[in-house]
Amino acid sequence: MAEKLLIVEDEDTLCESLKRVFAKEGYEVDIAGSAESAFGLLKEKTYDLIITDIILPGISGIELLTRYKEQNPGQKVVIMTAYASLETAVEAIKAGACDFIVKPLMHDEMKRVVRKALGKSGH
Amino acid sequence: MFAPYNLFIIVLCYLLLLFVVAYYAERKERSGKSIINNPYIYSLSLAVYCSSWTFYGSVGKAATSGLSFLTVYLGPTLMAALWMVVLKKVVSIVKANRITTISDFIGSRYGKSLSLSALVTIVAVAGIIPYLGLQIKAIISTFVIISGDASFHQTSFQKVFWGPAAGLFITLILGIFAIIFGARRLDSSERHGGLVFAIAFESIVKLVAFLLVGIFVTFGLFKGFGDIFSKIKDSEYSVLLFLGPGTGTDYSEWLALLFLSMMAIMFLPRQFQMAVVENYDEAHITKAAWLFPLYLFLINIFVLPIAFGGLLLGGTANGADYLVLTLPLEHGAKYLSLFAFIGGFSAATGMIIVETLALSTMVMNSIIMPSLINFHEYPDFPTVVLNIKRIVILGVVFLGYLFAVSIGEFYSLVDIGLKSFEAVSLFAPAFFLGLYWKKGARAGAIAGLGAGFAIWFYTLILPALIKAGIVKEIGLVALLTGSEMLNPHRLFGIEGLGKWGSSLFWSMLFNVVFYIGVSVFKKQSKEEEMQSLVFVESYEGVKGLEHGGSYTAGDIEDILTQYLGKVEAREAILNFLRRKGKGWAELTHKELFELRNEAEAVLAGAIGISMAAIIFENKLVLTERERGELSESVKHITESLRFSRRELAEANRELSYLKEFSENIIESAPIGIATVDSLLRVNYWNKGMELISGIRKTEAFNTSIILLLPWIPGSILLRNEQCEATFETPGRLTFKINISPFKDPSGGYVVILEDITEKKKMEEQLLQASKLASIGKLTAGISHEIGNPLASISSLVQELNALNMESREDREFTGESLKTINSNIERIARIVRSLGDFARVSSTEKKVSNISEILDRTVNLVKYDKRFKNVRFTTEIGDIPPVLVNPDQIQQVFLNLMLNALDAMPNGGTFTISMRRNGASIEVIFSDTGAGIAESVMDRIFDPFFTTKPLGKGTGLGLSICYGIIKEHNGAITVKSNKGEGTTFSISLPVEHNG
Amino acid sequence: MRNAELWVFIFLLGLLGLNWPIIEIFHIDVIMYLFVFWLLFIGLVAYAAHKSGMDRKPGNTEARKPGSPVKKELTSALPISRA
């Protein structure tokens, strides 16, 4: 069965590109342009993996992660960001992310991270 | 031995000679070649003091009482030393006030008092008439002696008849002479130059005559001084050689006589006339002070020899009075004795004429004129007055004659003379104290003089009158004279004061006590006050005081005419006009006043000062109070001046110290200070200037500063207000120049030059650092902004990479993707560019820019900040013209403010920027709804290194740099804020070009 | 005014010399003493009069001195070289 991905990213072009890429891999991809719209989607469906940017219009990706994880502690999340700092990384892990990647993304690496995250049991 | 007729002729000739001499002298005087105006004539004229008393009486006195006669001449000698002090003062007062007699002098001193001067006149007349009489007596006696045989006892009828008759005749002649000399015209303040010269002449005559007789006796009849004196020593008369108790003169009498003669030389009317009134030049007094005593010395050398010689040659003391005559006569020197007679005659007539004149003037001025003043409108008044004067003269002389023939024979010459001396010494207190004691009052003078006179009369005259049988010693008189206390000879029972001492002592005592006593208790009248000032201070009087009442020159002339006659009056006025060089009607008010003063003085000469004053009613002198006030002011002014001088010197010292100090400061200040005048020429150039400009002080001086520092923008120097400017030299140095105009009306500027190259460099570095700091703040947002498109591009490229490019879909996809990639690249490029623009080192140049464009550029940079997303951002841009600004710097300011606003609104808010034109400036307002600024930190906002952000988060430089930038643009930046409500920054930039 | 005091002094000198007790000292030959003293006194007065006549020379004006220095001080003290 295809694994479901949710990509939360405000940069449209990137979003669509990623959807295409992951779709080619056989995943089922939904995209959201903001944390708010992501929550909307999450009410309807659950996803195997959420991939979210940190900097979003409205609440940040970290905030999204935290909130969602409250209800769904087992949810797997991967953070992506253009702003790479140690602090952000620590914050992300603390919030319960499985991993994070830095923009600009390399597709191969992206795929690998996703596979890894999905391979693990959620924690 | 000489026939009376011959004698008469001789006498007349001699008198004629005197007259000729006098006339000659006056002629010379009028032609300007005065022979009278010299100290020798003056001194000789003073020798009128030596009357027949000197010529005959001294010898007589020496023969009877030894040395006491000498006091009469020692006194004046001593007094002469004081002349330098007293006489000069008296002369100057007399000259200044046109005083002509001693009664006038004394009366004038005490408030121009007529009553006092009348009293003085009475005393003088009463005192002098006997003395006058004695001169006439001497003339008669000597006439008899020389015309008859050796016997001088007037026993035979002839002698009884001839003597007095001759005497009367001579008296008359003398009276006429007196008239000729002194009563030709009515203005007696004129000099009697001729009289003075004649007196000097006869002084020589009498001296020579006496000396000749002396030589005759001493060396002719004896073998010199030693011979006579040793012979006398051995005789019964040896006591005459000594002084003291037991001799004819004890010491108290000696002193008393000394005193009397000192008074006499001052107060005898003839002495006052000659020494004071007739004085030409005060400098003569200096010579006379010793010449006159020398004369006295000379004329006294042979007195003792003659007296002793006479005694030794078998005379008795009786008739010793005329030894001068009898000795030569009886020892075969007939012509010598004739010459001696002439000498004695000179002595007597000199005294008579001058004394008579003086007394008559006194009588006229003090007694007659006041009585007649009411008749001044009588026609031909002057002539009447003149005639009255002539009658007075004759009267005086005649009175003297009467005295001579009645009482004169009971007393010796000397005794009567001394009575006169004492009479005039009564003037001493009023005179001397009046000269030196301002409080001396008229009432005091009258009281003192009156008391003294009474005692004088009682002790000296009454006994004489009784002795002569004129007053009978009966009734009241007898009572008084017989009493213990009031005996004239032993007043108040005090003996031992000597014959003269007693009378002198008491009269003086009462005189002085009454004078001082009454003066102390009596208040002076205004007139008296003034006069006391005039006399004591030799006050010139303050002329020029305005006075009410209007006279014309004609009025003044009319008044003068009434008293002096038309000719005199007219002459006086014309004199004045000539001196002023003005015409009759051209006199100013002030000059008219002067004329009135002059007229009063002229009139005073004729009728006495008191009368003239009454007529003109003038007040020339300030009262005591006024004078006191004046002298207080003067003293005060002098004090203030002295004090001011001290203060001034003090201030001066401080000033020069400060000057030095400030000069040091200016000189050593680390900036260039120069001053220029209004023509821009350098007049001060300090060390700092030398260092900065490399131009030395010496080269810089007086050169136009524009030449010295050509890189100064010329426009600066033309301003008239303080202005500052910054400019760069060709040598890439930056200077700040401050030019301030001097407040001084003479213009000029202070130029201060500061090398701010270093400072500017630092500023630029600071600005740069701040910029970088801002950039730092933007990094997060920007890197995100660049990162995203970059990520998009990357992703697309990777996708494209994985394509085969075979299907049409692929090709379409490629085309689409490339377009997307392109636009993203542009996005990146834009940001990179604006960042690059910003990061570039900004230039310092200003150029005309559009502020709103700058704002846009700034917004472009800021909007990528994530915080921006939560902020409602609005702009209101009005219509604003381009402004001359430094765009980078302004951008920096905007950026800073915007970042701060974002910092203040982490959770979002509203941020408004508005721009609008406000008159001569543009207003840019940044308004946020952030955290706001607390009141307590409000005024430190713009301080450098001040920040409210936690450590490490803010440098605190941002706003201070903004402030600096805005200031440099001649704008202003202000802030309004309330904690919790938001902050508004307002910037205003002038539209007109700045700098 | 020293002048006046001088004359008063001379006068008093004469007064003293011509009276008891000084005169008593010379009682042996009073006459000689008197005449000599008299002549000397006249000489003294003559000398003093001559001297006092000499003192009246012009140019002895002290009043000038205080004036000028103060003025000079002021102008030189005044400030910054207005050359």
Nearest CA to A63 out of A103, A8, A107 is that of A8
* pLDDT of the residue at B188: 52
The tens digit of pLDDT for each residue in B800-835 reads 888 877 888 888 888 888 998 998 898 888 878 777
Amino acid code (one letter) for B678: S
Does any CB of chain B come closer than 8 Å to the CB of residue A83? yes
Does any CB of chain B come closer than 8 Å to the CB of residue C32? no
The DSSP code sequence of B338-395 is: HHHHHHHHHHHHHHHHHHHHHHHHHHIIIIIHHHHGGGTTSTTHHHHHHHHHHHHHHH
Q: Are B989 and B971 in contact (CB under 8 A)?
A: yes
The answer, yes or no, to whether A and B have at least 3 beta-carbon pairs within 8 Å is yes
Strands (E), chain C: none
**pLDDT over threshold 60, residue C60:** no
Question: Residue B778: exposed, middle, or buried by beta-carbon count in 10 A (0-12, 13-18, 19+)?
Answer: buried
Considering the segment(s) B760-990 as one domain, its CATH architecture is: 2-Layer Sandwich (3.30)
- For B866, the closest of A11, A20, A55 (CB atoms) is A55
Contacts of B139 (CB under 8 A, 6+ apart): B52, B167, B170, B344, B345, B348, B349
User: CB distance A104–B780 less than 8 Å?
Assistant: no
Calpha distance C25→B244 (Å, rounded): 12
Calpha distance B911→B867 (Å, rounded): 12
- For A83, the closest of B783, B790, B795 (CB atoms) is B783
Report DSSP state, residue B320: G
Exposure of B601 in the CB half-sphere (CA atoms within 13 A): 17
Nearest CA to B22 out of B277, B208, B192 is that of B192
Closest-approach residue (CA) in chain B for A13: B792
**pTM for the model:** 0.55
The dihedral region occupied by B805, where left means phi > 0, alpha psi between -120 and 50, and beta the remainder, is left
User: CB distance B795–A17 less than 8 Å?
Assistant: yes
Closest-approach residue (CA) in chain B for C42: B290
Percent of chain B whose predicted confidence (pLDDT) is above 70: 85
Residue from B77, B79, B225, B642 whose CB has the most chain C CBs within 10 Å, to mutate: B77
**Partners of B734 in the beta sheet?**
B728
* Domains of chain A in sequence order: 4-119 (3.40.50.2300)
Give the distance from residue B515's alpha carbon to the nearest chain C alpha carbon, in angstroms. 24
**pLDDT over threshold 50, residue B520:** yes
Q: Are B751 and B705 in contact (CB under 8 A)?
A: yes
Q: What angle (nearest 5°) sits at the alpha carbon of residue B14, between those of residues B8 and B20?
A: 135
Q: Count CB-CB contacts under 10 A for residue B56.
A: 29
**pLDDT over threshold 70, residue B176:** yes
Contacts of B889 (CB under 8 A, 6+ apart): B767, B842, B965, B968, B969
Does any CB of chain B come closer than 8 Å to the CB of residue C42? yes
Assigned CATH for B4-426: 1.20.1730.10
The average pLDDT across B839-852 equals 75
Q: Which residue has better confidence, A102 or B414?
A: A102
Give the distance from residue B130's alpha carbon to the nearest chain C alpha carbon, in angstroms. 29
Residues of B in contact with C78 (CB under 8 A): 655, 659
Question: Residue B774: exposed, middle, or buried by beta-carbon count in 10 A (0-12, 13-18, 19+)?
Answer: buried
The average pLDDT across A69-95 equals 81
User: CB distance C83–B663 less than 8 Å?
Assistant: no
**pLDDT over threshold 70, residue B11:** yes
Q: Are B189 and B295 in contact (CB under 8 A)?
A: no
b/e map of B632-647 (b: 16 or more CB within 10 Å)? eeeeeeeeeeeeeeee
User: CB distance B794–A13 less than 8 Å?
Assistant: no
Average predicted confidence (pLDDT) for chain B = 81
Closest-approach residue (CA) in chain C for B226: C32
User: CB distance A83–B793 less than 8 Å?
Assistant: no
Does any CB of chain B come closer than 8 Å to the CB of residue A23? no
Calpha distance B603→B583 (Å, rounded): 22
Calpha distance A107→A24 (Å, rounded): 12
Contacts of B969 (CB under 8 A, 6+ apart): B846, B885, B886, B889, B890, B989, B990, B994
* pLDDT of the residue at B545: 35
**pLDDT over threshold 80, residue B91:** yes
Question: Residue C53: exposed, middle, or buried by beta-carbon count in 10 A (0-12, 13-18, 19+)?
Answer: exposed
The chain B residues in contact with chain A (CB within 8 A) are 780, 783-784, 786-796, 798-799, 802, 820, 824, 866, 869
* Number of domains forming the structure of chain C: 1
Q: Name the helix (H) or strand (E) containing B988.
A: strand B982-990
The tens digit of pLDDT for each residue in B625-640 reads 555 666 667 667 777 7
Q: Which residue has better confidence, B128 or B770?
A: B128
Does any CB of chain B come closer than 8 Å to the CB of residue A41? no
Closest-approach residue (CA) in chain C for B645: C70
The highest-confidence range among B598-602, B608-612, B941-945, by mean pLDDT, is B598-602
User: CB distance B67–C31 less than 8 Å?
Assistant: yes
Residues of B in contact with A105 (CB under 8 A): 791, 794-795
Percent of chain B whose predicted confidence (pLDDT) is above 90: 17
**pLDDT over threshold 60, residue C80:** no
Touching partners of B (3+ C-beta pairs < 8 Å):
A, C
The average pLDDT across A107-121 equals 83
User: CB distance A104–B790 less than 8 Å?
Assistant: yes
User: CB distance B286–C46 less than 8 Å?
Assistant: no
Closest-approach residue (CA) in chain C for B230: C29
Exposure of B311 in the CB half-sphere (CA atoms within 13 A): 26
Closest-approach residue (CA) in chain C for B229: C31
Does any CB of chain C come closer than 8 Å to the CB of residue B892? no
- Count A/B contacts: CB-CB distance under 8 Å: 57
Strands (E), B265-339: none
The DSSP code sequence of B763-776 is: HHHHHHHHHHHHHH
Does any CB of chain B come closer than 8 Å to the CB of residue A112? no
Is there a domain that residue C10 lies in? yes
- The strands making up A76-81's β-sheet, listed across from edge to edge, are A28-32, A4-8, A49-53, A76-81, A99-102
Decide: helix, strand or coil at residue B122: helix
Q: What are phi and psi of B871, to 5 degrees?
A: -105, 135
**pLDDT over threshold 90, residue B298:** yes
Contacts of B661 (CB under 8 A, 6+ apart): none
Does any CB of chain B come closer than 8 Å to the CB of residue A116? no
Q: Are B362 and B120 in contact (CB under 8 A)?
A: yes
User: CB distance B784–A55 less than 8 Å?
Assistant: yes
Residue from B42, B72, B74, B681 whose CB has the most chain C CBs within 10 Å, to mutate: B74
Q: Output the six-digit token pair for B332.
A: 């075969």
Q: What angle (nearest 5°) sits at the alpha carbon of residue B531, between those of residues B527 and B534?
A: 145
Return residues 688-717 of B near C (CB < 8 Å). 701-702
Does any CB of chain B come closer than 8 Å to the CB of residue C81? yes
Calpha distance B786→B826 (Å, rounded): 10
Give the distance from residue B946's alpha carbon to the nearest chain A alpha carbon, in angstroms. 28
Residue from A55, A59, A88 whose CB has the most chain B CBs within 10 Å, to mutate: A55
The DSSP code sequence of B157-176 is: HHHHHHHHHHHHHHHHHHHH
> Which sequence spans correspond to the domains of chain B?
4-426, 437-527, 553-622, 633-667, 669-755, 760-990
The answer, yes or no, to whether A and C have at least 3 beta-carbon pairs within 8 Å is no
Calpha distance B340→B326 (Å, rounded): 10
- For A17, the closest of B784, B790, B796 (CB atoms) is B796
The tens digit of pLDDT for each residue in A4-34 reads 899 998 888 888 989 988 998 889 999 998 8
The answer, yes or no, to whether B and C have at least 3 beta-carbon pairs within 8 Å is yes
Closest-approach residue (CA) in chain C for B681: C83
Closest-approach residue (CA) in chain C for B748: C82
- For C38, the closest of B74, B79, B254 (CB atoms) is B74
Residue from B43, B68, B73, B84 whose CB has the most chain C CBs within 10 Å, to mutate: B84
The average pLDDT across A52-79 equals 85
User: CB distance A83–B780 less than 8 Å?
Assistant: yes
Give the distance from residue B810's alpha carbon to the nearest chain A alpha carbon, in angstroms. 13
Q: Count CB-CB contacts under 10 A for residue B331.
A: 16
**pLDDT over threshold 70, residue B395:** yes
The average pLDDT across B317-337 equals 82
The average pLDDT across B540-561 equals 59
What is the dihedral angle through the alpha carbons of B202, B206, B208, B211, rounded to the nearest 10 degrees? -170
User: CB distance B794–A82 less than 8 Å?
Assistant: no
Report strand pairing: B982-990 vs B921-928.
Answer: antiparallel
**pLDDT over threshold 50, residue B544:** no
Query: What residue numbers bound the domain in which C35 lies?
Result: 2-56
Instruction: Give the homologous superfamily in CATH for domain B669-755.
Output: PAS domain (3.30.450.20)
Q: Output the six-digit token pair for B986.
A: 């307002």
